[in-house]
Amino acid sequence: MFLKKKECQIAKLGEEVLRQEAKEVKDLNSKEIKSLIKKMLHCVKLSRGVGLAAPQIFESYQILIISSHPNDRYPNAPLLENEILINPKILNKSETLEKGWEGCLSIPGIRALVPRYKTIEVEYTKIDGSKIQIIYEDFLARIFQHEYDHLIGKVFLDRVETNSDIISEDIYFKKIK
């Protein structure tokens, strides 16, 4: 099944699906879930994002993908491509919060300084049904928390501490050069 660009619509801020709590995945082997994951992998690649959550493509399921790699949107991103996390949960988090720049495919043209836990321990199910516990740090922890927020009905702007931490993406790219 080959997906075309038009088959990858990203939900934008204001869409109801972005403010809902996503449903737990019950059957990893269902045709619907397998198709959804395939679509998510296509969409994250097409969008040049470093992560994607199912609600961002109008599917309210607890699935997220971390697809970190250096690109024009995140030139210093570490490499961890296409990690599929089903029914993820945060088990532990560091006391240390760190502000970092974030953008979102669902909120194009905006960047903001967002406080996130520097280190988190998470548990999730892989597509083969095995359970994984892993510790993410720094940028990968940030990606996880950003995408996890989509599963609980939040967006990164909900975490911003002050309006002066929000800028246009054009200004952001001038700042990082």
Joined together, the tokens standing for residue 7 give 């088959």
Query: Of 31, 91, 32, 90, which is closest to residue 61 (Cα–Cα)?
Result: 32
Quote the pTM value.
Answer: 0.93
Q: Where are the alpha helices (DSSP H) in 82-137?
A: none
Q: Phi/psi of residue 77, each to 5°?
A: -65, 140
Name residue 124's beta-bridge partners: 132
Q: Catalytic residue among 59, 83, 102, 147, which?
A: 147
| 104 marked ligand binding residue | yes
Which pLDDT score is estimated for 133?
Answer: 98
pLDDT band at 3 (very low <50, low <70, confident <90, very high): very low
Residue ranges and CATH numbers for the domains of the chain are 5-176 (3.90.45.10)
What is the SS3 assignment for 73? coil
> Has 21 been annotated as catalytic?
no
| 150 marked ligand binding residue | yes
Integer Cα distance of 98 and 35 in angstroms: 36
For 64-117, the pLDDT digits (tens) are 999 988 877 777 888 888 999 999 999 999 999 999 999 999 999 999 999 999
